[in-house]
A and B are shown apart, each in its own frame.
Chain A
Amino acid sequence: MSSRLRHARSIAGAAAVLAAALAIPATVAAQEVVLGASVQLTGPVANTGRYYRDAYQIAIDKINAAGGAKIGGQSHKLALKLYDNQSDVNLSVRQYTQLVSQDKVTLLLGPFASNFALADSAVSEKYKVPMVQGGGASDQIFSRNFKYIFGTLAPASNYFASTIDMLKALKPKPASVALLYADDAFDVSVADGTRPKLKEAGLTSAMDERYSTNATDFNSLLSQVKSKNVDAVLVAGHETEILNFVRQAKSLGVAPKMYSFTVGVPSEDFRKALGKDADYAFGMTAWLPSTSLKDRWFGDAEKFAAEYKARFGYDPDYHAASGVADVETLVQAMEDASSTDPQKVRDALAKVKFDSLYGPIAFNAHGQIDLPQVVIQVQNGKLAEVYGAKGIVTQPQYPMPAWSAR
């Protein structure tokens, strides 16, 4: 008897849960354009994920303050529906599905990181709702012939292009180059794109090593760099890895003539964590808060940076600018199409062309933006724009002195 009831209760319990799940109501107000996103707010990459949350929010608030999006003669306010995917790709996919099919958001904004964008773009393609993401640069995302995914991060394969141009211009030209890269989608893309460029530039490759994502120990690699006397070291990795790399380089006394990193250098907390050890490090960014980048809502990039810092307490970097650009792009596309219909917005996105605080926005046939990377360097604790499209802007500090001589 008791076993029957025991199982009855278990089954009833499960059924009750199912019923509750079926009953979750959709939550959308009419006349409002809701932008949905699933972002890493907790979990290992949360410290970059928050740039997107804050960027989306500040952009939406700014646009609303100016009257919202003017679609077909009517003003529409924007709203943000944000979920935390806890740095879990599978959860992110389910949350995007929920945003589209249950919460019935109008359009989608993207997550951070290439592997997330890769998986989540399958959702936007399935439901034919455009997603503009500013967090994934891997070429893989845009090679599936998907029509509903657009990206505002410059292609991964191009990241070191301007750096290599700069290397050619340095005196003395580096005799050997080491390419170290993590084995995730983004960094592998970077390395694949960098190798041919090194060859074209006539630079000798002394080391070409793939390391595990999230590695914490670079001592062996650094010892090899030292023993081979490599002049230039290019590292494609994530912030925590690069942080460890620099610290361990110092503690092993490894000081090549220059080193350049795909991420980290533009971020304030990265430079803060390293303090003076961050000096001489090269990096790249597709964005700098300069007054020459004019924006319809924020005025220009410098004003945006100030507003962002005042509101959130930390400096924005290109992640944040990219996130803001995503929101502005969607608004611009809706206005161009005079509609919030996903299909029409998608077509407008394919043709969109305007200037924003992030730079000129336009997508190629695969949906990816093309922006050149500017080479930057940490000079005396501050970020300096060193090499851009027109050549040297500020003189790079080269070669890097030995650690003991700093």
Chain B
Amino acid sequence: MDLLAQVVANGVLLGGLYAVMALGLALVWGVLNIVNLAHGAFIMLGGYAAWHLYRLAGIDPFAGLPIVAIVMFAAGYAIQRGLLNLVVRAPMFNTLLITFGLEVVFTYCAQLAFSADFRTINPPYAGSNVALGPVTLPVARLAAFAVALALTVGMWLFLLHTRLGRAIRATAQNLVAARLYGVAPRHLYAVTFGLGVALAGMSGALYGTVSQVNPYIGATLTAKSFAISIIGGLDSPLGVIVGGLFLGIVESLTTLYVGPTYADVASFGILVLVLIVRPSGLLGRTA
């Protein structure tokens, strides 16, 4: 029984980390209808940014999250404004292809700049844990979980209650009408994408404290983020949390009861099932 509780707890914390990773992807996809295959690469770059901050300036990864966010936001804004805005009205899979190209470019540049050595972010508390009854909870994952919740709620509040958030949603729903109201779509698209990249970068910083960063982690993380976004539903940030938790728990339980090599079967199998049965996801409104 204790083992089960521990495994479920592992799954919940893993799910929190997954949710942070998927948040940026879901935002950009749900609002802008841009499917970003380079999402994992941005997570990777955020991880490197946090590693450099920690190594060179001694800045704690959690404290450094705002810095990583600002840097990544700027990068995302520039990419959307300068590049992705050029293909927004092209057929759907052009954004898939161009973001794939970006993923390749970023991965190779990272390899050239940082070498293939893996990097870990090892603040003193990275290995400590707290006990909650029979269950051991790693501190770093717990903190990441808290950050995930905070970011999700923050994103939800932002989109619903701030002017900028409402402008973003308006632009996504009806470009022409939004323009008539004086919204500058190119700027707004860039802001939204920048937010998505900032979220990705922050999740990379968190990922670096619980795992390790190398130039090639992008592809798998993109795939996971996709699965979570779809399973949870793209309509709301809360869906991402639900999707992340669901996936984390399923993977943990599958590893325990079926076998560690079946975790991917479970996650992607559920993804396909959700798409077939309920494409809008667990929390999405049925179209």
Contacts and interface: CB of A to CB of B under 8 A. Distances in A.
Interface of A: 42-47, 49-50, 183, 209-212, 214-217, 219-221, 223-224, 226-227, 239-240, 243-244, 247-248, 250-253, 269, 273-275, 277, 403
Given A47-B214, A214-B220, A221-B255, 5 more contacts: A45-B116, A223-B7, A226-B6, A247-B212, A277-B122
A243 B259 contact: no
Contact of B14 (A44, A217, A250): A217
A69 to B, nearest CB: 32
Contact of B260 (A49, A220, A240, A251): A220
Interface in B1-50: 2-3, 6-7, 10, 14
A221 to B, nearest CB: 6
Given A47-B115, A214-B220, A403-B127, A220 B120 contact: no
A212 B139 CA distance: 26
A278 B176 CA distance: 59
B94 interface: no
5 contacts: A219-B7, A247-B211, A273-B118, A275-B122, A277-B127
A239 B118 contact: yes
Interface residues of B, number: 39
B256 interface: yes
B212 A240 contact: yes
Given A220-B252, A223-B3, A210 B216 contact: no
Contacts of B263: 212, 215, 217
Nearest to B261: A212
Given A209-B260, A243-B118, A224 B3 contact: yes
A227 B261 contact: no
Contact of A274 (B117, B120, B220): B120
B117 A251 contact: no
Nearest to B217: A216
Given A221-B260, A247-B126, A251-B141, A46 B212 contact: no
B173 interface: no
A251 B264 contact: no
B103 interface: no
The 9 A-B residue pairs whose C-beta atoms are closest, nearest first, are A251-B138, A250-B127, A46-B116, A211-B260, A220-B255, A47-B116, A219-B10, A227-B3, A44-B216
B174 interface: no
Nearest to B216: A44
B116 A183 contact: no
Contact of B117 (A42, A43, A47): A47
Contacts of A226: 6
A114 B111 CA distance: 23
B148 interface: no
B75 interface: no
B136 A253 contact: yes
Contacts of B251: 217
Given A212-B260, A217-B251, A273 B141 contact: no
Contacts of B255: 217, 220-221
B216 A252 contact: no
Given A220-B10, A403-B127, A273 B260 contact: no
B111 A42 contact: yes
Contacts of A221: 255, 260
A269 B116 CA distance: 11
A262 B243 CA distance: 36
Nearest to B128: A251
Contacts of A277: 122, 127
B210 interface: yes
A211 B141 CA distance: 22
Interface string B105-120: 0001001000111111
Contacts of B108: 42
A252 B136 contact: yes
Contact of A183 (B252, B256, B261): B261
B140 interface: yes
Contacts of B6: 223, 226-227
A128 B39 CA distance: 46
B140 A251 contact: yes
Contact of A46 (B3, B111, B127): B111
B214 A251 contact: no
Nearest to A219: B10
A251 B126 contact: yes
Contact of A243 (B7, B120, B220, B260): B120
Contacts of B140: 251
B210 A247 contact: yes
Contacts of B212: 240, 243-244, 247, 273
Contacts of A403: 127
A252 B138 contact: yes
B211 A244 contact: yes
Contacts of B118: 47, 239-240, 243, 269, 273
A209 B3 contact: no
- Of listed B122, B127, B139, B210, residue having the most chain A CB within 10 A: B127
Contacts of A216: 211, 220
A224 B261 contact: no
Contacts of A251: 126-129, 138-141, 210
A111 B98 CA distance: 32
Contacts of A275: 122
A135 to B, nearest CB: 16
Interface in B237-287: 251-252, 255-256, 259-261, 263-264
B133 to A, nearest CB: 14
Nearest to B127: A250
Contacts of B261: 183, 210-212
Contact of B264 (A45, A49, A212): A212
Nearest to B13: A219
A247 B128 CA distance: 10
